A and B are shown apart, each in its own frame.
Chain A
């Protein structure tokens, strides 16, 4: 079921210079949204910007009939969204796309987030914890360019999961790319390859690296992709990605793909 609804903005919370969290009241969507799903929203009722914007769910609180989106200001659309006020209405189309395939409670969960890629993985972690998964079985590798870009860390720490942080400039945690830290942990056998489900979301170069590590180690990792999506529901074919079975639609066949399947270049 896809809902086309008018949600109402609950709150808008700035997390750093560029990133904010938009909390929206919308009972039907909050009821149905799963980790990996996304919301396609209209920035305003004028024709510039014209197309809807896609954001994955960052948090869903069914009991409060609301959900949250994590948004970084990168252009006019996100800039206008950052200036919204509580109480304003917002035109939503959701939940869209597929969702992560979940691990069993007995399995380990390893997640790799690069920058804003934390958005859907944060919801996945929260979802699993609410389903009584043990936090000790969940490990998150979170990489950003510099310390100021680290967001949601307090909430992640208090959840009790294992957290590894990397910054490219070394201003916090491991100095370097998150994939390097991940590979190092793998080599030193601190991550169990068997009985583990892997998830990743982040910029394309990072996902390419995750993909190549996965191939090297013969594991599968579920990656959540981002793309511009004109229709968001699979009709226009304007957001395709290459896979071993030809082009697939990020909005409808994804946004979650297996590294065994997707060809990132």
Chain B
């Protein structure tokens, strides 16, 4: 018998727990020329802001040991063009589409989610309160429990979509933030966004990124992410979506054991564009071989 990989967040049912992370998958089209996107549990779009954003000037990415830094800076087409130009394609998919939303003020988040309200083809919103690369927005909301609460509360009051709050690891206690967003009405939390990092070019004595610092992602951050997922899972009883250096189904299973009901693939998409669907297949195989009926039965089953 085929194992059951399905997962629910709120009223939304996903065929499997594998999502692709915001900012690593564009608006879906590019990867659609490599594999069938419907094999994914869901797709998370690039962060959408009220107005289009060009992002930071290049260079905005650089490779580091078992990871990479980026300071793309939320480059995106803006909510209006997103709805007009990108959503029609996403709507043709059977996979669940999650729109990631970012803003530089609570009002901006609210304006964006109002524009997205009721749009066909969208199933959930992921609220980015953790981008380390924009001064005024993103991280400003995610770095203390009060502002995280305010932002998520305002979004929740203005949307009928279930919402996921995407959390930053660059805080003193991620559990407090997770508790605050749960209190504010978040249906799930996703963690972790990238860790603030930096690289220097010795030849020029300049930082490798124009924004000087950037967000570190990739296998290098997996142990940090795993520990944070585990900590949050001990205290916060809403679904957790684990993110951070997941490259294969075994990594995914570690997050699931630590307490994640779903996982996101980010940098892994760059290393192997088929990484996400190979993880879906790997989870299936693992459950079969180990006679596990539902992958959900493994969530939080860490033996301590």
Spell out A's residues near B (CB within 8 Å): 1-2, 4, 42, 47-52, 91, 93, 227-228, 230-242, 246-247, 252
Contacts and interface: CB of A to CB of B under 8 A. Distances in A.
Contacts of B70: 230, 236, 238
Minimum-distance CB pairs A-B, first 4: A238-B61, A235-B26, A47-B66, A235-B30
Residue of A51, A237, A241 with most chain B CB atoms under a 10 A cut-off: A237
A237 B72 contact: yes
A48 B55 CA distance: 28
Contacts of A234: 26, 30
Q: How large is the interface on B (under 10, 10 to 19, 20 to 34, 35 or more residues)?
A: 35 or more
25 contacts: A2-B33, A47-B66, A47-B271, A50-B66, A50-B68, A51-B63, A51-B270, A52-B271, A93-B34, A227-B58, A228-B63, A230-B70, A231-B270, A231-B273, A233-B30, A233-B31, A235-B30, A236-B270, A237-B46, A237-B72, A238-B61, A239-B61, A240-B55, A241-B58, A247-B75
Contact of B72 (A1, A50, A236): A236
B24 interface: yes
Contacts of A42: 271-272
Interface in B23-38: 23-26, 30-31, 33-34
A248 to B, nearest CB: 11
B238 to A, nearest CB: 29
Contacts of A93: 34, 273
A187 B144 CA distance: 65
Contacts of B33: 1-2, 233
Nearest to A91: B272
A48 B188 CA distance: 33
Contacts of B46: 237
Contacts of B68: 50-51, 230
Contacts of A246: 54
B61 A230 contact: yes
Nearest to B70: A238
A2 B33 CA distance: 7
A240 B59 CA distance: 8
A49 B68 CA distance: 10
B31 A236 contact: no
Given A42-B271, A241-B58, A233 B34 contact: yes
Given A2-B34, A246-B54, A50 B61 contact: no
Contacts of A4: 34, 273-274
Nearest to B57: A242
B62 interface: yes
A239 B57 CA distance: 10
A236 B73 CA distance: 11
Residue of B30, B59, B218 with most chain A CB atoms under a 10 A cut-off: B30
Residue of A2, A49, A235, A242 with most chain B CB atoms under a 10 A cut-off: A235
Given A4-B273, A240-B60, A247-B54, A50 B31 contact: no
Contacts of B44: none
A230 B270 contact: yes
Contact of B58 (A47, A231, A232, A240): A240
Contact of B219 (A47, A230, A231): A47
